[in-house]
């Protein structure tokens, strides 16, 4: 995917959350954003997915200028997976996926069913299709959210800490699903605190601290961090 950010700023209540972010990536398939709590990672992801707009600056994702594109058009091109609880609890697994395909992407009922069933089977969720979303385990629920994210065949999928609400076993289940996406050449940007996963799954790593990109590069920066901030962050992460 192509990502271009030029002098991007964002404040909430007069507090600067993102400060003059600049970035130009031409051809990275998977990008991990890491950094301490409050660094601005989720804020950056919300700007990249056009859930919010920057106060100033320009953002391009692939060929889309996010200052210019109609958000509804953009939402048809991308997918988003949040921390948790984003399925409609009273609808079945199958309906959670076909709904968006029919209503937003104007697929026929048959097309939507076929796409949803193919994907659910491919991601080992075939036996759960008739359960209500509220009856799933946390890991299953998150995997269904991922399937819903890719069902529209997005150009890029954005993940914001998709495993932070899960225990270690379910975390592995969801991370394996994301690795499978990578093998299938899905492009994604993931905010994650799973550093070992970032090492495995990302082509490019962005380390943020206090509203800025402090260090970025290929996964080698996780082995060999150049800045004091990243060194400190990694040593804290691996403390226990």
Ligand X SMILES: Nc1ncnc2c1ncn2[C@@H]1O[C@H](COP(=O)(O)OP(=O)(O)OP(=O)(O)O)[C@@H](O)[C@H]1O
**Chain positions contacting Mg ion, by CB under 5 A:** 42
Q: How far is the CB of 22 from ligand X (least distance, A)?
A: 18
Q: How far is the CB of 228 from ligand X (least distance, A)?
A: 19
From residue 41 to residue 70, what is the string marking binding to ligand X with x (rule CB under 6 A)?
Answer: xxx---------------------------
Residue 12 partner contact from Mg ion, ligand X, none using kind-dependent CB cut-offs of 5 to 8 Å: ligand X
Q: Which residue is nearest to Mg ion (CB)?
A: 42
Which is it for strands 156-160 and 78-81: parallel, antiparallel or unpaired?
Answer: parallel
Name the residue nearer to ligand X (CB basis): 35 or 139.
Answer: 35
Does 13 sit near ligand X (CB under 6 A)? yes
CA-derived radius of gyration, the chain: 18
Considering only 3, 5, 17, 213, the residue that binds ligand X (CB under 6 A) is 17
211: alpha, beta or left, given left = phi > 0 and alpha = psi -120 to 50? left
Does 40 sit near ligand X (CB under 6 A)? yes
Residue 43 partner contact from Mg ion, ligand X, none using kind-dependent CB cut-offs of 5 to 8 Å: ligand X
Name the residue nearer to ligand X (CB basis): 151 or 190.
Answer: 190
Look at residue 206 and give its three-state secondary structure. strand
Look at residue 159 and give its three-state secondary structure. strand
Which is it for strands 204-209 and 212-217: parallel, antiparallel or unpaired?
Answer: antiparallel
What are the φ and ψ backbone dihedral angles of 103, each rounded to 5 degrees?
A: -85, -40
Query: CA of 18: how far to CAs of 40, 52, 91, 229, in Å?
Result: 6, 13, 37, 17
Beta-bridge partner residues of 224: none
Does 12 sit near ligand X (CB under 6 A)? yes
Of the candidate spans 37-45, 66-74, 126-134, 173-181, the one that interacts with ligand X by CB under 6 A turns out to be 37-45
d(CA 93, CA 91): 7
What are the φ and ψ backbone dihedral angles of 165, each rounded to 5 degrees?
A: -95, 10
Of the candidate spans 10-18, 21-29, 112-120, 149-157, the one that interacts with ligand X by CB under 6 A turns out to be 10-18
Q: How far is the CB of 111 from Mg ion (least distance, A)?
A: 35
């Amino acid at each position: 995917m192509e990502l271009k950010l030029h002098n991007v700023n964002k404040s909430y209540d007069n507090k600067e959350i993102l400060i003059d972010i600049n970035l130009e990536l031409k051809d990275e398939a998977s990008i991990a954003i890491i950094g301490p709590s409050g660094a601005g990672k989720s804020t950056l992801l919300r700007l990249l997915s056009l859930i919010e707009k920057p106060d100033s600056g320009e953002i391009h994702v692939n060929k889309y200028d996010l200052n210019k594109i109609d958000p509804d058009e953009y939402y048809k091109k991308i997918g988003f997976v949040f921390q948790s609880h984003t399925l409609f609890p009273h609808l079945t697994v199958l309906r959670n996926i076909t709904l968006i395909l029919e209503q937003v992407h104007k697929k026929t009922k048959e097309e939507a069913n076929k796409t949803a069933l193919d994907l659910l089977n491919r991601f080992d969720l075939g036996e759960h299709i008739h359960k209500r979303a509220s009856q799933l385990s946390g890991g299953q629920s998150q995997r269904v959210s991922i399937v819903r994210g890719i069902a529209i065949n997005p150009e890029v999928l954005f993940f914001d800490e998709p495993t932070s609400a899960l225990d270690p076993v379910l975390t592995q289940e969801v991370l394996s699903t994301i690795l499978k996406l990578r093998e299938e050449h899905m492009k994604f940007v993931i905010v994650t605190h799973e550093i070992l996963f970032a090492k495995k799954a990302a082509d490019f790593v962005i380390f943020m601290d206090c509203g800025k990109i402090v260090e970025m590069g290929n996964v080698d920066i996780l082995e060999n961090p150049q800045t004091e901030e990243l060194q400190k962050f990694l040593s804290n992460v691996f403390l226990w």
